[in-house]
A and B are shown apart, each in its own frame.
Chain A
Amino acid sequence: MNYGYPIRNKGLQKKIKPGETVIHVLLFLAGFISIFTTIGIVFVLGKDAWLFFRLPEVNLWDFLTGTSWQPHINKFGILPLFTSTLLTTAIAMTIAIPLGLAAAIYLSEYASQKARKIIKPTLELLAGIPTIVYGYFALTMVTPLLRSIFGANIVEIYNTGSAGLVMGILILPLVASICEDSLSAVPRTLRDAAYGLGATKLEVAIKIVLPAALSGISAAIILGITRAIGETMIVAVAAGAGPNLTLNPFKGAETMTGHIVRISGGDLSYDSIDYNSIFAIGLFLFLITLVLNIISQRIVRKYREVYE
């Protein structure tokens, strides 16, 4: 009865298919590796941070509110490191948000097919430049520029302003790309509706498409902030070494990531208080980015429901 097929399983019972099982397991492992890595990171950070906070010289309250980070005299207040992270991030975002959004609106609403084909890959190329290159760009191009504009006696050689500006350029393509995706995802029919009412291109872009894409845009901004907070190489090279509690962008001030790089670059003995302190900073960083990621995921989920 079976023309050309092997004899069929009359009882319709399950057949063992080894190929299916192997693939299933491999795919599961691929997914599990990232989960396992995250668990591992939390464990390592948590363990060493715990060793740090357990020490008699340290307490959590002073860690969170102390205004001075001087490990050699047992002062572990994270505020100077935290404020310079905030400062560089804020400067970066003042560059990345408006420019990224403007680029995204141009690409999604104005650019011809041809222009988009050239500009988008070029923009994404910016994101592919190694951050150490950006760091030296900040130090050898942007800092001298700032010094020539504002005066060499005002702008220090290492300063958060220059690092923040260059970080903004680094993050710009990320913000632009995600914003462009969410602007392009706004249905054509909404634009048609607005054009059909006699709206101009600018009115359609700013008053219809932009609000409809707002949740995607906020997600892009939060992802950009996360990236800026975690960015290391640029601030390590250009923002200055040494914690400094200041909001002056022309002064040098070490960020959390910059501090971790400098301390771990030196010859620290394992289990010393300095060594453990960088894990506490790392844990703090991890928690900030984790919270921001959760917020952006919430927003993205909401954004999926917007038009229906």
Chain B
Amino acid sequence: MNLISPVLETHNLNIYYGDFRAVTDVNIQIPRHKITAIIGPSGCGKSTLLRAFNRMNELVPNTHIEGEIIFEGQNLYGRDIDPVEVRYRIGMVFQKPNPFPKSIYENVAWAARIHGYRGNLDELVESSLTKAALWDEVKDILKQSALSLSGGQQQRLCIARAIAVQPEVILMDEPASALDPIATLKIEELMQSLKKDYTIVIVTHNMQQAARASDYTSMMMLAENTRSGTVIEFEETNTLFTRPKDKRTEDYVTGRFG
């Protein structure tokens, strides 16, 4: 599959933890202003691949990559690339809601402050919380600790916090796996409303979620012999779920796997 102008593009990407190759030969393109899901069984390297897109992997000692990831014409792993600048433009939402132990307001405003935001901070906080569908619930308690919110609200706060930086891409690592079905639905609706401004890449092991919420799906699987994960199929979500080309994808999405 070749897209006209992908936001992110991997070329023969291999990711290593020490000597162990966790992800092998990934060549995918992430389409602009779409939601791309990465699915696959546990331990197949979905999160590792996702975290390679904003260089979060290297916070773990002894990780390295081979190959390249092209973002807007530049190799993210080029010699002169600063990972801090990469993460400023490619944001991330994590599996477990992880708000800072600060006020709701401060959670959203924090990154704007460190990046020297020149606009009106109050407006930025309000618009970010509104986009994250949280404003109405928290507008009267902005000074309260973020930890007083429910899990679902905390996760939407984390999304608001990521949006406030105005990144181009938002990476989501199983953002709803710690949430109940209602909170999950809210996050999925939120993703739909966000995709007109952002490119979203989401890791999920919930296939219904991928089928419901994403435009493109990348199917990952462990290779039998090397125990290393790779992308075995990358298609429009509809196609991948209804007419999978790979037998393993078919078995997985129909629940017949393993």
Contact = CB atoms under 8 A, between A and B. Distances in A.
Contacts of B61: 112-113
A216 B85 CA distance: 32
B101 A196 contact: no
Nearest to A307: B101
Contacts of B158: 193
Interface in A273-308: 306-308
Sort chain A's interface into a size bin: 20 to 34
Contacts of A194: 100, 110
A187 to B, nearest CB: 8
Interface string A187-219: 101111111111110010001100110000000
Interface in B111-159: 111, 114-115, 147, 158
A187 B100 CA distance: 10
A197 B98 contact: no
Interface stretch (B68-76, B89-97, B181-189, B205-213): B89-97
A198 B100 contact: no
B138 to A, nearest CB: 18
B91 A196 contact: yes
B102 to A, nearest CB: 8
Contacts of B165: 197-198
B114 A192 contact: no
B161 interface: yes
Contacts of B176: none
A228 B233 CA distance: 66
A207 B100 CA distance: 10
Contact of B87 (A189, A197, A208, A308): A197
Interface string A104-147: 00000000110000000000000000000000000000000000
Given A189-B94, A192-B94, A199 B100 contact: no
B223 interface: no
B111 A198 contact: yes
Contact of A197 (B96, B102, B111, B147): B111
**Chain B interface extent, by class:** 20 to 34
Contact of A192 (B85, B98, B110): B98
A308 to B, nearest CB: 7
B59 A197 contact: no
Contacts of A198: 84-85, 87-89, 91, 111, 114-115, 165
Contacts of A196: 54, 56, 87, 91-94, 162
A203 B94 contact: no
Q: Which one of A192, A197, A212, A306 has the highest number of Cβ atoms from chain B below 10 Å of its Cβ?
A: A197
Contacts of A189: 94, 96, 98
Given A199-B111, A203-B114, A207-B114, 18 more contacts: A113-B61, A191-B59, A192-B94, A192-B98, A193-B98, A194-B110, A195-B87, A197-B87, A197-B88, A197-B110, A197-B114, A198-B84, A198-B88, A199-B114, A211-B101, A211-B102, A212-B100, A307-B147
Interface of B: 54, 56, 59, 61, 84-85, 87-89, 91-94, 96, 98-102, 110-111, 114-115, 147, 158, 161-162, 165
16 contacts: A113-B61, A189-B96, A190-B101, A191-B59, A193-B100, A195-B59, A195-B87, A197-B87, A197-B91, A197-B165, A198-B87, A198-B88, A198-B111, A198-B114, A200-B84, A308-B147
Task: Enumerate the 5 nearest inter-chain pairs by beta-carbon distance, A residue then B residue, closest first.
Answer: A198-B88, A196-B92, A197-B111, A189-B98, A198-B87
